[in-house]
């Protein structure tokens, strides 16, 4: 059933999503990139409400402790669609309220040499992106508390679409019905 969900999403995604790849790097103009504060917590925005982000290692611990699924955002500092997600999708009140309540959200800079632990091994965030097979940015993953991927979404995702998919994953509906069935059943 999970394959049906992601197969149906993959057929619609090219029309709905855009992403950055290495070629987009040339067009990058430096803006306020995400930074880690003194407590090693990722700070996306401090001027208004938004998603609560965790480092990879911190997020994995919180997920297990609170029995919450994981929402993982692989980004780069130069990716314009990553910044668009930060400014439009992750600051959408409906999205961040739902995500902050029901998921542990993690941001990973796919070009960072910050060390994280994954499956008992220390790797850089750059290596983690490779392990997850990320080749375009942003790439979003939903994972269970055991860090097993439920599915991924490459590229820019509109706030309403992310909200619908997050509901689908949170409700565990992906285990029994397709996303299309879920949308019809819930009048999305």
* Reduced 3-state DSSP string for 92-129: CHHHHHHHHHHEEEEEEECCCCCEEEECCEEEEHHHHH
Confidence of residue 36 (pLDDT cuts 50, 70, 90): very low
Side-chain half-sphere CA neighbours of 109 within 13 A: 17
pLDDT at 41 over 70: no
pLDDT at 33 over 60: no
Domains of the chain: 2-23+39-185 (3.40.30.10)
Please tell me the pTM assigned to this model.
Answer: 0.77
Non-local (6+) Cβ contacts of 64 within 8 A are: 145
Q: Of all helices (H) and strands (E), which one includes residue 160? A: helix 159-170
How much is the pLDDT for 48?
A: 52
Using CA atoms, how far apart are residues 160 and 66, in angstroms rounded to an integer? 26
How much is the pLDDT for 98?
A: 97
* Mean pLDDT (the chain, rounded): 82
């Amino acid at each position: 059933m999970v394959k049906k969900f992601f197969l149906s999403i993959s057929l619609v995604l090219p029309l709905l999503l855009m992403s950055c790849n290495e070629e987009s790097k040339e067009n990058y103009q430096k803006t306020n990139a995400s930074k880690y504060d003194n407590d090693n917590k990722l700070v996306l925005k401090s001027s208004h409400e938004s998603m609560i982000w965790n480092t990879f290692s911190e997020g994995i611990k919180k997920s297990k402790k609170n029995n919450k699924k994981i929402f993982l955002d692989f980004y780069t500092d130069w990716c314009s669609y990553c910044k668009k997600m930060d400014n439009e999708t992750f600051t959408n009140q409906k999205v961040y309220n739902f995500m902050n309540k029901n998921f542990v959200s993690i941001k990973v800079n796919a070009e960072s040499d910050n060390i994280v632990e994954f499956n008992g091994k220390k790797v850089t965030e750059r290596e983690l992106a490779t392990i997850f097979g990320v080749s375009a940015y942003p790439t979003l993953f939903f994972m269970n508390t055991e860090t097993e991927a439920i599915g991924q979404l490459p590229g820019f995702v509109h706030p309403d679409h992310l909200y619908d998919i997050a509901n689908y994953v949170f409700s565990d509906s992906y285990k029994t019905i397709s996303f299309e069935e879920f949308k019809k059943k819930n009048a999305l």
